[in-house]
Structure 1
Amino acid sequence: MKSVIRALPLCLAVVAVQAHAQSVSPSWNAYRKQQAQSAAQPVPQQQAQSQSQSQSEQASTPVAAPPATRLVTSQPASAQPALEPTPRARGDAPRSAFFVGVQKGHGWIYDDKKQELTAASAGFRWQAGPVTQVGIEAAYGKLKKEETSTTEWDPFWQQNFTYTEVYPQARYFTLGASARFNFGSNSPIFGIARLGYFRSKIDSFGDNDQRVVVGAYAGLGLGVDITRHFNVQLIYNSYVYSDDDYYDYYGDDYTINRADTATLGLEVRF
C-alpha cells in the first residue's frame, strides 16, 4: 500500500507533462480553434432570428395610446377667468315683438304755419329676415291750436291795428304698415317706412263745428337702437287727402290737400 501511495505522485507528473505537451502542440491549437469557431457560428443566427421575430410581434401588436393627462390648476374657481359667450349677430335670434312709442314735433296743415304736435303709437312687428321687420301700427296724434298776432300801422286811420290768425286744433288717427331695416346685422342704425290710412278731425275757425278728412299717409325715417328694447327715431310723414272746399252750381269742388309732420320719438319693444 505504501508503494502505491509513493507511485501516485509520479503518475500525476506524467499526466501533467502529457497535457502540457498537448496544449503547446500546434496541431492541437488548430483543432481547438476550429472547434471554437464552429460552436460560435449558430449564435448570431439565433440572435437575428429572435430579433426579427420580436420585430414582427411588435408590428402586429397594436400600440396603446398613452392615457390622456388632465391638467389641474391650483388656482381657485373664483379666480379663474370665465369663458365669455360668443357674441350673437343682431339678426340671428327672432326679434318679433310688440312695441309702443311716443313722438313730439311739429305739423304743417296751412302752408308754412307750424303747429305743435304730440303723438303716440303701438303695434307689432314680425321678423321677416336677418335685418328686416314688418308689422302693423296704429297711432293717435294731436296738433295744438296756434294763434299768430300781427300789428300793422294803418295810414288812413292813423292808428295801429292788430290782426290775429287762428290755426285750429286737429286730431288724427292712423292705421297701417310699419317696417324697419337695419343697415347690417350688427349695425344699430336702421331705416323706417310707414304706409297706411288716416282720419282727421279739424276744428273750425269760428264755431264748434269740426271738419272731417280722410286719406292716406306715408313716412320715412331713421332710428338708432340704444339697447335691444329701446330706440330713438326721427320720422317725416306726409298726409294726402281730398278736401271739399266749397259748393257751386256744378257740384262739390274737391281739391287735393297735403299736411306734413316731423317728429322725434322714443320706442320701447317687449
Structure 2
Amino acid sequence: MQLTWWGAAAVCLQCGDDVFWFDPFLARAPRAKPGPRPLPVEQDRATAIFLTHGHFDHALGVAGLANRWRAPVFCHAVAGRTLMRDGLDPALLRPIDHDGWRESIGPLSVLSHHSGHVRFDAALVLRTLPRILPGLTALGRLMAAYPQGQALCYRLDVEGKSVVLFGSAGAGPGLLAELARQPVDLLLMPLQGHSRICQIGLEYVAALRPRAVMAIHHDDFHPPMSMAVDIGPFVAGLRRGFPHVRPIEAQVGQAVAP
C-alpha cells in the first residue's frame, strides 16, 4: 500500500493494481504552493473515487477526471448533483445515502460515517478577509457553486491496516468515540480552516489513538483565500504528548508507505 498526498485533501491510495482517489481536487490555482505537477502514469487512473463533501477544493474537476478514468464516484447526494451539473456521466455516480454505508471494492473495504466541517473561527476570518476583498464576488460565486452537503469520513480497511480519513476537522465527540472502538493504524488529518487547527488535530489524536498520523490540507491550495498552515506545533505536540504515534510528514506528490 502506498499513499500520495496531492495538495488540499486530495489523496491517492495505491494497492497493487488498484488506485483509489479521495477528494481529487487537482485543478490547482495559478499561485498555489506547491503548484500543479503532472501525475505519474501509475496514478493517472482510478478504480474508484470518493468525496468527503462538495466544496470546490474537494470536488472541482472531479467530474472530468471520473469521465476520463471511467471511475465510479462515491459521494453524498449534494456533491453528486454538483458533479452531474459539471458533466459527470450519470452511470458513474454512486450515492452514499446513509450513515454507516459500507462497500467493498477489490482489496478495499470502506465504511462511511456522517461527519462535519470545521467551523471557521472569527480570528481566521478576520485574518483572511483583507486578502480576499478584491476578489470577494468571484470567490463567493465559486463557493456557492460547490455546496458542502453532508460531510463524510471514511474508515478504510486494506492490506490488514485500518485507515481513518477526514476531509475536514468537524467531527463531533460521538463520532470520534465510535471510530475509536476499533484500532486505527493511520489517521489522515486535515489541518485547515481554524486558527487553532493544530490543537484540534491533537484532540483527534487523543480520541483515536492512531499508530501513525499524516497531515493533509495544510498547503496554500487556493490563494489568496487559503494560506499555508505551519504544522510544526502539531508535530511538536505529537512528539510531546503522543510519543507512540508516528508522524508521517508527507510532501505533495511524494508517495509514502505508511
| Structure with the larger strand share | 1
- By the TM > 0.5 criterion, same fold? no
Alignment TM class, shorter chain as reference: under 0.3
**Structure of higher CA gyration radius:** 1
Whose relative contact order is higher, 1 or 2, with alpha carbons under 8 Å and at least 6 apart?
A: 2
| Structure with the larger helix share | 2
